[in-house]
Amino acid sequence: MSEICEVIVDGEIHEAKEGSLLIDLLIEEGVKIPYFCYHESLGADGNCRMCMVGIKGEKRPQIACDTLIKKDMEVFSNTDVIKKVRTDILELELLNHPVDCPICDQAGECSLQDFYMDYGLHESKVEIEDKVKNSKHVDLGSSVVLDQERCVLCARCTRFTTEITHTNELGIVGRGDSAKVTTMPGRELSNPYAMNVVDLCPVGALTSKDFRFSQRVWLLETHNSICHGCAKGCNIYIDHNKLKYKDDVIYRFRPRKNLEVNGHFICDEGRLSYKDVQENRQEFSTFNHIEVEQDIAISKFKNFLEQHHKNIHILIDANLYTEEIEAILEFAKSIKAEVFSPLEVYTDEGFADDMLKCSNRASNYKTIENLNISTENPNNSELIINFNHPQNFESLMQIDFCTHKSDTNSLVFAIAAFTENEGSLTNVDGITQQTQKAVKKNNPQPSIIEWLTRIDL
Protein backbone atom coordinates (compact mmCIF):
# COMPACT_ATOMS: atom_id res chain seq x y z
CA MET A 1 0.00 0.00 0.00
CA SER A 2 2.84 2.39 0.64
CA GLU A 3 4.29 2.37 -2.84
CA ILE A 4 4.88 5.69 -4.49
CA CYS A 5 2.57 6.20 -7.42
CA GLU A 6 1.68 8.87 -9.90
CA VAL A 7 -1.45 10.94 -9.54
CA ILE A 8 -2.68 13.50 -12.04
CA VAL A 9 -4.12 16.63 -10.50
CA ASP A 10 -5.55 19.13 -12.97
CA GLY A 11 -3.35 17.72 -15.68
CA GLU A 12 -0.15 17.83 -13.67
CA ILE A 13 1.61 14.70 -12.54
CA HIS A 14 2.37 14.39 -8.84
CA GLU A 15 3.93 11.59 -6.85
CA ALA A 16 2.31 10.31 -3.71
CA LYS A 17 2.13 7.31 -1.47
CA GLU A 18 -0.56 4.89 -2.51
CA GLY A 19 -3.21 4.74 0.19
CA SER A 20 -2.37 8.13 1.65
CA LEU A 21 -4.96 10.88 1.90
CA LEU A 22 -5.60 12.87 -1.23
CA ILE A 23 -6.13 16.07 0.72
CA ASP A 24 -2.63 15.84 2.20
CA LEU A 25 -1.17 15.72 -1.28
CA LEU A 26 -3.26 18.67 -2.45
CA ILE A 27 -2.28 20.77 0.56
CA GLU A 28 1.35 19.85 0.24
CA GLU A 29 1.45 20.62 -3.47
CA GLY A 30 -0.29 23.92 -2.98
CA VAL A 31 -3.38 22.97 -4.96
CA LYS A 32 -6.13 25.32 -3.90
CA ILE A 33 -8.55 23.34 -1.78
CA PRO A 34 -10.98 24.69 0.76
CA TYR A 35 -11.61 22.77 3.96
CA PHE A 36 -12.75 23.35 7.52
CA CYS A 37 -13.05 20.05 9.33
CA TYR A 38 -9.93 18.30 8.11
CA HIS A 39 -6.79 18.86 10.13
CA GLU A 40 -3.63 16.86 9.83
CA SER A 41 -3.52 16.26 13.57
CA LEU A 42 -7.15 15.16 13.78
CA GLY A 43 -7.66 13.29 10.55
CA ALA A 44 -10.75 13.25 8.39
CA ASP A 45 -14.20 13.80 9.82
CA GLY A 46 -15.89 14.52 6.53
CA ASN A 47 -18.48 16.92 7.90
CA CYS A 48 -17.80 20.23 6.17
CA ARG A 49 -17.96 18.80 2.64
CA MET A 50 -15.87 21.68 1.31
CA CYS A 51 -12.92 19.74 -0.05
CA MET A 52 -14.86 18.24 -2.94
CA VAL A 53 -12.87 17.27 -6.00
CA GLY A 54 -13.72 15.47 -9.18
CA ILE A 55 -12.18 12.04 -9.64
CA LYS A 56 -12.12 10.33 -12.99
CA GLY A 57 -14.47 7.37 -12.93
CA GLU A 58 -16.54 8.68 -10.02
CA LYS A 59 -20.01 9.87 -10.85
CA ARG A 60 -20.13 12.44 -8.10
CA PRO A 61 -17.63 14.83 -6.56
CA GLN A 62 -15.76 13.25 -3.68
CA ILE A 63 -14.32 14.78 -0.53
CA ALA A 64 -10.54 14.76 -0.75
CA CYS A 65 -10.15 14.23 3.00
CA ASP A 66 -11.75 10.81 2.73
CA THR A 67 -10.23 9.76 -0.57
CA LEU A 68 -7.24 7.46 -0.59
CA ILE A 69 -4.69 7.85 -3.31
CA LYS A 70 -4.70 5.15 -5.93
CA LYS A 71 -2.31 4.52 -8.75
CA ASP A 72 -3.02 6.63 -11.84
CA MET A 73 -5.84 8.48 -10.14
CA GLU A 74 -6.96 11.55 -12.02
CA VAL A 75 -8.18 14.44 -9.90
CA PHE A 76 -9.89 17.65 -10.98
CA SER A 77 -9.92 20.50 -8.53
CA ASN A 78 -10.86 23.49 -10.64
CA THR A 79 -13.58 22.44 -13.04
CA ASP A 80 -16.74 24.49 -13.20
CA VAL A 81 -18.70 21.70 -11.53
CA ILE A 82 -16.31 21.58 -8.58
CA LYS A 83 -16.17 25.35 -8.26
CA LYS A 84 -19.96 25.47 -8.18
CA VAL A 85 -20.16 22.75 -5.54
CA ARG A 86 -17.72 24.63 -3.34
CA THR A 87 -19.53 27.91 -3.86
CA ASP A 88 -22.88 26.33 -3.01
CA ILE A 89 -21.64 24.65 0.15
CA LEU A 90 -19.78 27.76 1.24
CA GLU A 91 -22.99 29.72 0.90
CA LEU A 92 -24.53 27.30 3.37
CA GLU A 93 -21.59 27.61 5.74
CA LEU A 94 -22.12 31.35 5.73
CA LEU A 95 -25.89 31.09 5.94
CA ASN A 96 -26.20 31.69 9.65
CA HIS A 97 -22.87 33.43 10.06
CA PRO A 98 -23.12 36.97 11.45
CA VAL A 99 -20.51 38.33 8.97
CA ASP A 100 -19.00 40.50 11.67
CA CYS A 101 -15.49 40.45 10.25
CA PRO A 102 -14.74 44.07 11.19
CA ILE A 103 -14.92 43.19 14.87
CA CYS A 104 -13.66 39.62 14.60
CA ASP A 105 -10.15 38.77 15.70
CA GLN A 106 -9.93 35.96 13.20
CA ALA A 107 -10.24 38.39 10.31
CA GLY A 108 -7.15 38.10 8.20
CA GLU A 109 -6.48 34.50 9.11
CA CYS A 110 -9.98 33.13 8.67
CA SER A 111 -10.68 30.20 6.38
CA LEU A 112 -14.22 31.39 5.88
CA GLN A 113 -12.98 34.76 4.64
CA ASP A 114 -10.33 33.21 2.44
CA PHE A 115 -12.72 30.75 0.84
CA TYR A 116 -15.31 33.47 0.36
CA MET A 117 -12.77 35.40 -1.66
CA ASP A 118 -12.02 32.26 -3.68
CA TYR A 119 -15.45 30.77 -4.14
CA GLY A 120 -18.09 33.00 -2.65
CA LEU A 121 -18.47 36.65 -3.44
CA HIS A 122 -22.22 36.23 -3.34
CA GLU A 123 -24.79 38.42 -1.73
CA SER A 124 -26.43 37.16 1.41
CA LYS A 125 -29.87 35.83 0.57
CA VAL A 126 -31.04 35.50 4.14
CA GLU A 127 -32.50 38.32 6.16
CA ILE A 128 -30.64 39.02 9.37
CA GLU A 129 -33.72 38.20 11.43
CA ASP A 130 -33.99 34.78 9.79
CA LYS A 131 -30.52 33.70 10.85
CA VAL A 132 -30.15 31.19 13.65
CA LYS A 133 -29.24 33.14 16.77
CA ASN A 134 -26.77 31.75 19.25
CA SER A 135 -24.64 32.72 22.19
CA LYS A 136 -21.81 35.16 21.73
CA HIS A 137 -18.64 35.78 23.76
CA VAL A 138 -19.08 32.73 25.95
CA ASP A 139 -16.11 32.47 28.29
CA LEU A 140 -15.20 28.79 28.05
CA GLY A 141 -12.33 29.02 30.51
CA SER A 142 -8.59 28.74 29.85
CA SER A 143 -8.70 32.14 28.14
CA VAL A 144 -10.80 30.79 25.28
CA VAL A 145 -13.88 32.71 24.17
CA LEU A 146 -16.60 31.15 22.03
CA ASP A 147 -18.92 32.84 19.55
CA GLN A 148 -21.42 30.18 18.55
CA GLU A 149 -22.78 32.21 15.66
CA ARG A 150 -19.43 32.22 13.90
CA CYS A 151 -18.99 28.47 14.32
CA VAL A 152 -19.11 26.19 11.27
CA LEU A 153 -19.38 23.03 13.41
CA CYS A 154 -16.25 21.49 11.93
CA ALA A 155 -15.74 19.77 15.30
CA ARG A 156 -11.98 20.34 15.30
CA CYS A 157 -12.10 21.73 18.84
CA THR A 158 -14.29 18.94 20.18
CA ARG A 159 -12.13 16.32 18.51
CA PHE A 160 -9.09 17.99 20.07
CA THR A 161 -10.43 17.65 23.60
CA THR A 162 -11.68 14.14 22.91
CA GLU A 163 -8.87 12.63 20.90
CA ILE A 164 -5.77 14.66 21.74
CA THR A 165 -6.05 15.79 25.35
CA HIS A 166 -8.67 13.17 26.31
CA THR A 167 -10.16 15.76 28.63
CA ASN A 168 -13.52 15.87 26.85
CA GLU A 169 -14.58 19.34 27.94
CA LEU A 170 -16.01 20.36 24.59
CA GLY A 171 -18.80 18.72 22.68
CA ILE A 172 -21.53 19.39 20.20
CA VAL A 173 -25.03 19.57 21.60
CA GLY A 174 -28.36 19.64 19.81
CA ARG A 175 -28.71 18.65 16.22
CA GLY A 176 -29.47 20.01 12.78
CA ASP A 177 -28.98 23.74 12.41
CA SER A 178 -29.37 24.26 16.14
CA ALA A 179 -26.31 22.14 16.93
CA LYS A 180 -23.57 24.03 18.71
CA VAL A 181 -20.27 23.64 20.45
CA THR A 182 -20.27 24.07 24.19
CA THR A 183 -19.05 22.76 27.52
CA MET A 184 -21.23 21.06 30.14
CA PRO A 185 -23.38 23.60 31.98
CA GLY A 186 -21.28 25.19 34.68
CA ARG A 187 -18.06 23.51 33.60
CA GLU A 188 -15.03 24.94 31.97
CA LEU A 189 -12.56 24.18 29.29
CA SER A 190 -9.64 23.34 31.49
CA ASN A 191 -6.55 21.55 30.35
CA PRO A 192 -2.94 22.62 29.90
CA TYR A 193 -3.31 22.63 26.11
CA ALA A 194 -6.73 24.26 25.88
CA MET A 195 -5.70 27.29 23.87
CA ASN A 196 -4.71 25.17 20.91
CA VAL A 197 -8.39 25.11 20.03
CA VAL A 198 -8.02 28.76 19.10
CA ASP A 199 -5.46 27.87 16.44
CA LEU A 200 -7.45 24.82 15.36
CA CYS A 201 -10.64 26.81 14.91
CA PRO A 202 -10.65 27.74 11.21
CA VAL A 203 -13.02 30.65 11.84
CA GLY A 204 -13.58 33.25 14.53
CA ALA A 205 -15.68 31.05 16.79
CA LEU A 206 -12.88 30.40 19.25
CA THR A 207 -10.63 33.29 20.04
CA SER A 208 -8.02 33.89 22.70
CA LYS A 209 -8.99 36.16 25.52
CA ASP A 210 -5.34 37.05 25.78
CA PHE A 211 -5.05 38.21 22.19
CA ARG A 212 -8.58 39.47 21.52
CA PHE A 213 -8.82 43.05 20.33
CA SER A 214 -5.12 43.68 20.77
CA GLN A 215 -3.95 43.62 17.16
CA ARG A 216 -5.23 43.05 13.66
CA VAL A 217 -3.38 40.01 12.47
CA TRP A 218 -2.28 41.51 9.17
CA LEU A 219 -0.20 44.05 11.07
CA LEU A 220 1.81 41.33 12.77
CA GLU A 221 5.23 40.26 11.70
CA THR A 222 5.97 36.56 12.19
CA HIS A 223 9.25 34.84 12.97
CA ASN A 224 10.12 31.25 13.72
CA SER A 225 11.38 30.43 17.15
CA ILE A 226 11.53 27.80 19.87
CA CYS A 227 9.64 27.97 23.13
CA HIS A 228 11.91 28.39 26.15
CA GLY A 229 9.40 27.03 28.65
CA CYS A 230 10.96 23.59 28.99
CA ALA A 231 13.41 21.22 27.39
CA LYS A 232 10.91 19.99 24.79
CA GLY A 233 11.77 22.78 22.42
CA CYS A 234 8.32 23.23 20.94
CA ASN A 235 8.38 25.12 17.68
CA ILE A 236 6.60 28.43 17.78
CA TYR A 237 5.81 31.50 15.75
CA ILE A 238 6.50 34.80 17.39
CA ASP A 239 3.90 37.31 16.24
CA HIS A 240 5.10 40.81 16.98
CA ASN A 241 4.64 44.34 15.77
CA LYS A 242 6.31 47.66 16.13
CA LEU A 243 3.71 50.38 16.06
CA LYS A 244 4.73 53.86 15.04
CA TYR A 245 6.46 55.70 17.93
CA LYS A 246 6.29 52.52 20.03
CA ASP A 247 8.60 49.66 20.73
CA ASP A 248 8.53 46.25 19.04
CA VAL A 249 6.11 44.18 21.07
CA ILE A 250 5.25 40.49 21.02
CA TYR A 251 1.50 39.88 20.93
CA ARG A 252 1.42 36.14 20.91
CA PHE A 253 3.25 32.86 20.53
CA ARG A 254 1.61 30.29 18.29
CA PRO A 255 2.56 26.67 17.74
CA ARG A 256 4.53 25.91 14.61
CA LYS A 257 4.16 22.46 13.15
CA ASN A 258 7.07 20.13 13.66
CA LEU A 259 6.07 16.49 13.66
CA GLU A 260 9.40 15.45 15.18
CA VAL A 261 9.06 17.70 18.20
CA ASN A 262 5.70 19.12 19.12
CA GLY A 263 3.38 18.03 16.35
CA HIS A 264 0.93 20.89 15.88
CA PHE A 265 0.57 22.09 19.43
CA ILE A 266 2.15 23.86 22.38
CA CYS A 267 1.09 24.07 26.00
CA ASP A 268 -0.76 27.12 27.26
CA GLU A 269 1.99 28.02 29.69
CA GLY A 270 4.50 28.11 26.87
CA ARG A 271 2.08 30.04 24.70
CA LEU A 272 1.60 32.72 27.31
CA SER A 273 5.29 32.87 28.26
CA TYR A 274 5.77 35.70 25.76
CA LYS A 275 4.63 38.05 28.50
CA ASP A 276 7.42 37.10 30.85
CA VAL A 277 9.94 37.50 28.09
CA GLN A 278 9.14 41.16 27.64
CA GLU A 279 8.11 42.23 31.09
CA ASN A 280 10.39 43.56 33.79
CA ARG A 281 13.39 43.73 31.50
CA GLN A 282 16.88 44.85 32.43
CA GLU A 283 17.27 47.74 30.04
CA PHE A 284 20.72 49.09 30.82
CA SER A 285 23.85 48.21 32.72
CA THR A 286 23.78 48.98 36.42
CA PHE A 287 26.04 48.90 39.40
CA ASN A 288 24.44 48.87 42.83
CA HIS A 289 21.15 49.47 40.99
CA ILE A 290 22.47 52.66 39.45
CA GLU A 291 22.69 52.97 35.70
CA VAL A 292 26.23 53.03 34.38
CA GLU A 293 27.63 53.79 30.97
CA GLN A 294 28.72 50.83 28.90
CA ASP A 295 32.41 51.81 29.00
CA ILE A 296 32.34 52.19 32.75
CA ALA A 297 30.62 48.87 33.17
CA ILE A 298 33.22 47.18 31.02
CA SER A 299 36.10 48.76 32.91
CA LYS A 300 34.52 47.71 36.20
CA PHE A 301 34.20 44.20 34.84
CA LYS A 302 37.89 44.13 34.03
CA ASN A 303 38.67 45.63 37.39
CA PHE A 304 36.81 42.89 39.24
CA LEU A 305 38.54 40.24 37.20
CA GLU A 306 41.90 41.63 38.13
CA GLN A 307 41.00 41.58 41.81
CA HIS A 308 40.14 37.90 41.77
CA HIS A 309 42.40 35.21 40.48
CA LYS A 310 41.09 32.08 42.05
CA ASN A 311 37.69 30.55 42.51
CA ILE A 312 36.17 32.44 39.65
CA HIS A 313 32.94 30.66 38.94
CA ILE A 314 30.80 31.15 35.90
CA LEU A 315 27.08 30.34 35.93
CA ILE A 316 25.35 29.58 32.68
CA ASP A 317 21.62 29.64 32.13
CA ALA A 318 20.63 26.41 30.44
CA ASN A 319 18.29 28.44 28.24
CA LEU A 320 21.07 30.24 26.42
CA TYR A 321 21.75 29.42 22.81
CA THR A 322 24.46 26.86 22.15
CA GLU A 323 26.57 29.49 20.38
CA GLU A 324 26.42 31.64 23.51
CA ILE A 325 27.31 28.77 25.80
CA GLU A 326 30.28 27.93 23.62
CA ALA A 327 31.46 31.54 23.67
CA ILE A 328 31.16 31.60 27.44
CA LEU A 329 33.22 28.41 27.67
CA GLU A 330 35.93 30.03 25.56
CA PHE A 331 35.84 33.05 27.80
CA ALA A 332 35.96 30.88 30.93
CA LYS A 333 39.01 29.13 29.61
CA SER A 334 40.73 32.46 29.03
CA ILE A 335 40.19 33.57 32.61
CA LYS A 336 40.63 30.10 34.08
CA ALA A 337 37.17 30.08 35.54
CA GLU A 338 35.12 27.05 36.46
CA VAL A 339 31.76 26.72 34.77
CA PHE A 340 28.47 25.63 36.35
CA SER A 341 24.88 25.34 35.31
CA PRO A 342 23.09 24.15 38.46
CA LEU A 343 20.24 21.96 37.33
CA GLU A 344 18.04 21.78 40.37
CA VAL A 345 16.36 25.11 39.85
CA TYR A 346 15.08 23.94 36.47
CA THR A 347 13.53 20.74 37.72
CA ASP A 348 9.77 20.89 38.02
CA GLU A 349 8.22 17.44 38.24
CA GLY A 350 4.76 18.96 38.64
CA PHE A 351 4.98 20.56 35.22
CA ALA A 352 5.64 17.39 33.28
CA ASP A 353 3.04 15.31 31.45
CA ASP A 354 3.04 12.65 28.77
CA MET A 355 2.19 15.00 25.95
CA LEU A 356 4.72 17.78 25.50
CA LYS A 357 5.55 19.21 28.89
CA CYS A 358 8.91 18.25 30.27
CA SER A 359 10.07 18.28 33.89
CA ASN A 360 13.29 19.97 32.91
CA ARG A 361 12.41 23.55 32.33
CA ALA A 362 15.48 24.68 30.48
CA SER A 363 15.36 24.76 26.73
CA ASN A 364 19.03 23.97 26.14
CA TYR A 365 19.99 21.81 29.09
CA LYS A 366 20.89 19.04 26.65
CA THR A 367 23.74 21.22 25.42
CA ILE A 368 24.90 21.75 29.00
CA GLU A 369 24.96 17.98 29.27
CA ASN A 370 26.65 17.49 25.90
CA LEU A 371 29.38 19.99 26.77
CA ASN A 372 29.97 18.30 30.12
CA ILE A 373 29.28 21.46 32.07
CA SER A 374 28.87 20.80 35.77
CA THR A 375 25.28 20.86 36.94
CA GLU A 376 26.31 21.07 40.59
CA ASN A 377 26.23 24.20 42.70
CA PRO A 378 29.44 26.22 42.88
CA ASN A 379 31.26 26.31 46.24
CA ASN A 380 33.60 28.81 47.88
CA SER A 381 33.20 31.24 45.05
CA GLU A 382 35.20 34.45 45.16
CA LEU A 383 33.85 35.92 41.99
CA ILE A 384 30.71 34.71 40.27
CA ILE A 385 29.93 35.75 36.74
CA ASN A 386 26.33 34.80 36.17
CA PHE A 387 25.11 34.54 32.59
CA ASN A 388 21.39 34.78 33.28
CA HIS A 389 21.17 31.68 35.48
CA PRO A 390 18.10 32.11 37.69
CA GLN A 391 19.88 31.17 40.90
CA ASN A 392 22.32 33.18 42.98
CA PHE A 393 25.12 31.73 45.11
CA GLU A 394 27.31 33.18 47.79
CA SER A 395 30.45 34.89 46.65
CA LEU A 396 32.64 37.85 47.49
CA MET A 397 31.80 39.56 44.28
CA GLN A 398 29.25 39.01 41.51
CA ILE A 399 28.78 40.14 37.95
CA ASP A 400 25.47 39.48 36.25
CA PHE A 401 24.40 39.31 32.63
CA CYS A 402 20.63 39.56 32.80
CA THR A 403 17.68 39.69 30.48
CA HIS A 404 15.42 40.60 33.38
CA LYS A 405 15.79 42.95 36.32
CA SER A 406 18.01 41.61 39.02
CA ASP A 407 17.95 42.53 42.69
CA THR A 408 21.61 41.91 43.34
CA ASN A 409 23.87 44.80 44.19
CA SER A 410 26.34 43.57 41.67
CA LEU A 411 27.48 44.85 38.35
CA VAL A 412 24.72 44.01 35.89
CA PHE A 413 24.92 43.86 32.12
CA ALA A 414 21.61 43.92 30.27
CA ILE A 415 21.41 41.32 27.55
CA ALA A 416 19.04 40.50 24.70
CA ALA A 417 16.25 38.02 25.36
CA PHE A 418 16.01 34.93 23.18
CA THR A 419 13.39 36.60 21.04
CA GLU A 420 15.80 39.41 20.19
CA ASN A 421 18.60 37.10 19.30
CA GLU A 422 19.11 33.96 17.29
CA GLY A 423 20.86 30.68 17.79
CA SER A 424 20.43 26.99 18.25
CA LEU A 425 19.05 24.81 21.00
CA THR A 426 19.16 21.09 21.52
CA ASN A 427 16.01 19.65 23.00
CA VAL A 428 15.44 16.83 25.45
CA ASP A 429 15.42 14.29 22.62
CA GLY A 430 18.69 15.57 21.22
CA ILE A 431 17.15 17.43 18.31
CA THR A 432 18.98 20.65 17.48
CA GLN A 433 16.86 23.52 16.23
CA GLN A 434 17.46 27.09 15.09
CA THR A 435 15.57 30.20 16.02
CA GLN A 436 15.21 33.47 14.15
CA LYS A 437 15.81 36.89 15.54
CA ALA A 438 12.31 38.25 15.85
CA VAL A 439 12.03 41.38 17.92
CA LYS A 440 13.98 44.53 17.13
CA LYS A 441 13.83 46.75 20.18
CA ASN A 442 14.22 50.52 19.93
CA ASN A 443 16.93 50.18 22.52
CA PRO A 444 18.39 46.76 21.72
CA GLN A 445 20.48 45.06 24.33
CA PRO A 446 23.65 43.34 23.20
CA SER A 447 23.72 39.58 23.15
CA ILE A 448 26.17 37.74 25.41
CA ILE A 449 28.44 37.18 22.46
CA GLU A 450 28.42 40.89 21.66
CA TRP A 451 29.25 41.74 25.27
CA LEU A 452 32.10 39.28 25.36
CA THR A 453 33.46 40.79 22.17
CA ARG A 454 33.18 44.28 23.56
CA ILE A 455 34.81 43.32 26.82
CA ASP A 456 37.58 41.70 24.77
CA LEU A 457 40.10 40.52 27.28
Long-range CB contacts (within 8 A, 24+) of 451-455: 451/401, 451/413, 451/415, 452/327, 452/328, 452/331, 454/294, 454/298, 455/298, 455/301, 455/302
Q: Which stretch binds other proteins (CB under 8 A): 48-56, 284-292, 296-304, 378-386?
A: 48-56
Q: For residue 184, report the phi and psi dihedrals to the nearest 5 degrees.
A: -65, 150
Q: Which CB, 61 or 204, lies closer to other proteins?
A: 61
Is 126 among the residues that bind other proteins (CB under 8 A)? yes
Is residue 142 a contact point for other proteins (CB under 8 A)?
no
Distance CA 90, CA 210 (A): 30
User: Is residue 324 close enough to count as binding other proteins by CB under 8 A?
Assistant: no
Q: Of the candidates 4, 92, 219, 296, which one interacts with other proteins according to CB under 8 A?
A: 92
Tell me how far, at minimum, the Cβ of 52 lies from other proteins, in Å.
7
Exposed e or buried b per residue across 49-61, where buried means at least 16 C-beta atoms within 10 angstroms of its C-beta: bbbbbbbeeeeeb
Burial of 87 (0-12, 13-18, 19+ CB in 10 A): middle
Cα–Cα nearest to 310, from 397, 399, 233: 397
* Nearest Cα to Cα of residue 330 among 318, 342, 316: 316
Is 123 among the residues that bind other proteins (CB under 8 A)? no
Q: Does 168 bind other proteins (CB under 8 A)?
A: yes
Q: Is 162 in the site for other proteins (CB under 8 A)?
A: yes
Q: Which of residues 221-280 bind other proteins (CB under 8 A)?
A: none
Q: What are phi and psi of 395, to 5 degrees?
A: -165, 165
- At its nearest, how many Å lie between other proteins and the CB of residue 49? 5
Q: Nearer Cβ to other proteins, position 157 or 438? A: 157
Residue 170 engages other proteins in binding (rule: CB under 8 A): yes
Closer residue to other proteins in complex, CB, 11/176: 176
Angle between helices 80-93 and 111-119 (to 10 degrees): 140
Q: Does 149 bind other proteins (CB under 8 A)?
A: no
Residue 20 is a binding residue for other proteins (CB under 8 A) = no
**Residues that bind other proteins in the complex, under the rule CB under 8 A:** 44, 46-50, 52, 60-61, 66, 68, 85, 88-89, 91-93, 95-96, 125-126, 130, 132, 152-153, 161-162, 167-179, 183-187
